Structure 1
Amino acid sequence: MTGRADITLSVNGQSYTRRVDPRLLLSDFLRHELGLTGTHVGCEHGVCGACTILLDGRSARSCLMLAVQAHGAEVETIEGQGTVAALGPIQQAFREHHALQCGFCTPGFVMTILDMLRHHDLGDDAAIREALSGNICRCTGYEHIVNAVRALVRERGKPA
């Protein structure tokens, strides 16, 4: 017995099969096994939101999940949302509204916002602020992030 587990999952539309330690966190699997370093690890307690990904279309904290729990799942990370040459709609809104500074929290915000735009009514600032309340940014003061989401809701509708 090797003490390892075989997992297969789809990440940003690409299927991966790996043998992993059953205790490996999903955030570490994405970063170290797949080289997808856009998923950041901040607090390692699920509080800051930097590690947010979408798991089967819903936001999840990858630092609180084991990779084996994602077996058979569809995972979306920031790498699947656009490129430097072709930003995704949320990334473009962040750029246009100056909604980032250091950028450490940005991937988690983008993934949270993607989930919120797909599944929730963000019709007013109170709803937007509530949707963003699970993500921490120490640089921006949030106003520009709210402005970016407001613009997405108003001008672009649901980007997904």
Structure 2
Amino acid sequence: MSEVTMTVNGREMTGTVEDRTLLVQYLRENLGLTGTHVGCDTSQCGACVVHVDGKAVKACTMLAVQASGSAVTTIEGLANGAELHPVQAAFREHHGLQCGFCTPGMIMTAVDIIGRHGSDLDEHTVREELDGNICRCTGYHNIVKAILAAAGAGEPQRLAAE
């Protein structure tokens, strides 16, 4: 057993976990933050994406003890009070969600993509960057549209060689 302390969504949290506890398990089971979903447990689907020290991380591939001392942001901590984060608002406005299972991971990944690229995004880059996130409902067109809108890049231009 190990003690972990991390800042989660702006609040310092301390707990005791087994050394093999995954970050996604700690967030869901110990802290009750169930917005971070468990999909595949093998880092293939992206449903568990959170930010650790400002970078997108698949929480099923990181141990809770590895995140100790870090700042972790989950989908629950993305919004500012009652106001949606601009990426969340863009997903709602552009119908970037269907069943909703992949949505938290997609949004957390999108925030990271926009943070790294700003408005200098195009459809090809967004699709390439989303490669590790799976939408089983195949809502990618609207997800890409929402990310480009949130980045200020406007409507996606269709790729000529798709």
* Shared fold per TM-score greater than 0.5: yes
Secondary structure, counterpart of 2:132 in structure 1? coil
Q: CA deviation at 1:88?
A: 1.4
- Structure 1 runs of 4+ with >4 Å offset: none
Q: Deviations over 1:92-149 (max 9, x none)?
A: 1011001101100000001101111111354211111111111000114300001101
Counting matched residue pairs gives: 153
| 1:115 pairs with one of 112, 116, 138 | 112
> Which residue matches 1:149?
147
Identify the residue that residue 102 of structure 1 maps to in structure 2: 99
**Contact conserved, 1:55 with 1:73, CA < 8 A, in 2?**
yes
Q: Which runs of no fewer than 5 residues in structure 1 stay unpaired? A: none
TM score, norm. by length of structure 2: 0.89
Instruction: Give the corresponding residue for 1:69.
Output: 66
Counterparts of 2:128 and 2:30, CA distance in 1: 34
Q: 1:130 aligns to what?
A: 128
- The answer on whether the counterparts of 1:99 and 1:140 sit within 8 Å (CA) in structure 2 is no
1:100·1:140 contact (CA, 8 Å) conserved in 2?
no
Aligned residues of 2:122 and 2:153 also touching (Cα < 8 A): no
1:44 pairs with 41, 44, 57, which one?
41
Structure 1 distance, partners of 2:9, 2:31, is 11
RMSD: 1.7
Unaligned runs of 5+ in 2: 155-162
Q: TM-score, normalised by structure 1?
A: 0.90
